[in-house]
Amino acid sequence: MSNDTVLGVVLIVRHGDREGFYQDPTTYDASNTVITAAGTQQEIALGALLRQRYFNASSGNHIQFATTGLVNYSQIALRADAGDEGGVIYASAVALAQGLWPATSDANTTLSNGTTIVAPLSGYQYVPIESVESSNNIELQGFTSCPTFNSYVNNFYESDEFLAKQNESAAFLDQLPPYLDGRSVELTNMWNIFDFMNVQSIHNATFANALPSTFLPQARALANWHQYNSFSDPSLSGIGNIAMQTMLPSVIGGLQDIANASNPLNFYLEAISYKPFLSLFNMTNVAAQNTSLAGIVEYAAAVALEVRQPANGGETMLRFMFKNGSNDDFRQYGLLGSDGDVALSTFINKFNPVSVNTTSQWCSVCDNGVSRGCGVLAAAKASGATHDTISPVGAGFLGAGLTIAVFLIGLGVLALLGLLTCGPRRRLIKGSDSGSHGDEKA
C-alpha cells in the first residue's frame, strides 16, 4: 500500500436487492418496484464498509481532514436517481447513509435548562440526499426519452453479431418458457428474462429448486453480453455511452471540488442503476482490461474514484476502485490502459470533451424536441429567448412548460431559464482546474 494521502472520493453505487422489475428492451422505460429488506441490509453493510475505509482515523485509506464522528454536512454530498426503478435507488441511498453515519447518542442537543435531548431512533443522523428526478434532470438517466439511443439499440438488434448470437442461443432460450410465466423468450428481451429468473431465484424457493442449475448462469452471460453492447460504444462520444456521458459533469465536478484545498467537500456519492456502470467501464477501458466487468454489476456494487496526493508531492492522482456487490472486496483496476493510478488532469482532459453538460446539448444529441424540457427549449429558441448555459437540472421544470401557451413564452422563458442555471455541481466543466470555492478543508 502506498503512503499517499486520500484527499477524498467520488462514489458511484448501485441500489440493493429489489422485487420484480420490467423495462422496455428498446426505450428502457421502466416499471415501478420496491426495495426488499435484503436490499436495505446490503446498502447498510456497504455504508458501514465505506465508513471503516474512509472515516476511520486508523484506516490506511482515511480521508484527510474528514470528520470521523457525527456527519459533517459541509464535507459531503449525496445524490440518488429517483426516476429509475421507482424509489428503490433513493431508498438504497438512505440505507447506505445509515451505515455510513449510524445512530449515536452523540447526536444530541442541550437545551437552555440543561436538558440533553438525543435525536429520535436512538440518535438517528439525518443525512441530506438530493433526489434527482428524471423529469427534472437528465444527469443520472440520460438514456431514456433519447431517440438516438433507441435507434442505436435497434441497430444492434439488427446487426449480424446479434443475429448470430440469437441463432447460437436459440436452443437454450427455447427451454425457458416453463420458467418465465409467459414472458417473451426473444433475445431482445434478455435483460428481462435474466432479471425475472434472478429475482425469483433469490426470493422464491419453489422456483429456485425447480430451475436447472446451469440456467441462471447461462441467462446471466447472455444478459451481460446484451446489456454491455447496448450501453457501450466504440467511440467515447458515441450515443451508446450516453448513460455515463450525462453523469460526467457531476463526477468531474466532484473530483475537482475534492482536489481544491479551499473547498471542504471530500465525499461525493451518486446512487444509480446498473446502466451507467457499463458505459463507465467501457469508456475507461476497465472492461477491455478485465473482461469479467463487461456486464451487469451486482446489487450494492460500488466504484470509488479516490483522489490521492502522492507522498513525494507532485500531481494529484486518481485511483479506480471497484467492489462488485456484497460478496466482493474493493479492488484496484487500471484506468485508461494503465496498470494503476492516473493523473487527475489526464482523466478530466480525457472526458471533458465527451461530457453532455447541458439540457440543450442533450436534446440535440438525443434528437429530442419534445420531452424533458426539449420542447420548451425549442420554443424558446424559435422566439429568440435562448440561454446557452442552462443546466440539466432544468430539464423537468422546462418540460412542465410544455403546457404554457405560445403567447406566454416571450414573457416567461427568459426568467424561467435564468432561475434554472444554478447548482453547485451541475455546471459546465471548463478545464482541469479545481472546482468551486468554499471553506477550506483543513
In a domain, 328, yes or no: yes
User: Is residue 244 domain-shared with residue 337, that is, in the same domain?
Assistant: yes
pLDDT in tens, 409-423: 433 443 334 333 333
Secondary structure in 3-state letters for the chain: CCCCEEEEEEEEEECCCECCCCECCCCCCECCCCECHHHHHHHHHHHHHHHHHHCCCCCCCCECCCCCCCCCHHHEEEEEECCCCCCHHHHHHHHHHHHHCCCCCCCEEECCCCCEEECHHHHCCCCCCEEECCCCCCCCCCCCCCHHHHHHHHHHHCCHHHHHHHHHHHHHHCCCHHHCCCCCCCHHHHHHHHHHHHHHHHHCHHHHHHCCCCHHHHHHHHHHHHHHHHCCCCCCCCHHHHHHHCCHHHHHHHHHHHHCCCCCCCEEEEEECCHHHHHHHHHCCHHHHCHHHCCCCCCCCEEEEEEEECCCCCCCEEEEEEECCCCCCCEEECCCCCCCCEEHHHHHHHHHHHCCCCHHHHHHHHCCCCCCCHHHHHHHHHHCCCCCCCCHHHHHHHHHHHHCCHHHHHHHHHHHHHHCCCCCCCCCCCCCCCCCCCCCCC
Strands 267-272 and 76-81: parallel
Question: Are the beta carbons of 45 and 99 closer than 8 angstroms?
Answer: yes
Question: Are the beta carbons of 313 and 5 closer than 8 angstroms?
Answer: no
In a domain, 433, yes or no: no
In a domain, 425, yes or no: no
Question: Are the beta carbons of 54 and 9 closer than 8 angstroms?
Answer: yes
Question: At 71, which CATH number?
Answer: 3.40.50.1240
User: Is residue 302 domain-shared with residue 199, that is, in the same domain?
Assistant: no
In a domain, 440, yes or no: no
Picking from 269, 252, 256, the residue whose alpha carbon sits closest to that of residue 357 is: 252
Q: CA-CA distances (angstroms) from residue 214 to 152, 225, 264?
A: 31, 17, 50
pLDDT in tens, 243-263: 999 999 999 999 999 999 999
Task: Please report which confidence band the pLDDT of residue 77 belongs to, taking 50, 70 and 90 as the band edges.
Answer: very high
Task: Please report which confidence band the pLDDT of residue 2 belongs to, taking 50, 70 and 90 as the band edges.
Answer: low
What would the mean pLDDT of 183-201 be, rounded to a whole number? 98
In a domain, 247, yes or no: yes
Q: Give the number of domains in the chain.
A: 3
User: Is residue 12 domain-shared with residue 89, that is, in the same domain?
Assistant: yes
User: Is residue 35 domain-shared with residue 116, that is, in the same domain?
Assistant: yes
pTM exceeding 0.85 = yes
Place of cell 433513493: 90
User: Is residue 268 domain-shared with residue 315, that is, in the same domain?
Assistant: yes
User: Is residue 117 domain-shared with residue 18, that is, in the same domain?
Assistant: yes
Looking at the DSSP bridge assignments, the partners of residue 120 are: none
**Looking at the predicted structure, is the pLDDT value of residue 201 above 80?**
yes
User: Is residue 371 domain-shared with residue 283, that is, in the same domain?
Assistant: no
Please identify, among 312, 330, 354, the residue that sits at the C-terminal boundary of a domain.
354
Please state the separation of Cα 16 from the chain's center in Å.
13
In a domain, 439, yes or no: no
Task: Please report which confidence band the pLDDT of residue 120 belongs to, taking 50, 70 and 90 as the band edges.
Answer: very high
In a domain, 196, yes or no: yes
Residue of higher predicted confidence among 32 and 399: 32
User: Is residue 297 domain-shared with residue 335, that is, in the same domain?
Assistant: yes
What would the mean pLDDT of 145-157 be, rounded to a whole number? 98
User: Is residue 159 domain-shared with residue 291, that is, in the same domain?
Assistant: no
**Looking at the predicted structure, is the pLDDT value of residue 385 above 70?**
no
Which structural domain, as residue segments, surrounds residue 408?
359-419
**Looking at the predicted structure, is the pLDDT value of residue 60 above 90?**
yes
Q: What letters, b where the CB count within 10 A reaches 16 and e where it falls short, cover 202-232?
A: beeeebeeebeeeebebbbebbbbbbbbbbb
In a domain, 424, yes or no: no
User: Is residue 259 domain-shared with residue 210, that is, in the same domain?
Assistant: no
pLDDT score for 379: 86
User: Is residue 290 domain-shared with residue 323, that is, in the same domain?
Assistant: yes
Question: Are the beta carbons of 270 and 93 closer than 8 angstroms?
Answer: no
User: Is residue 200 domain-shared with residue 161, that is, in the same domain?
Assistant: yes
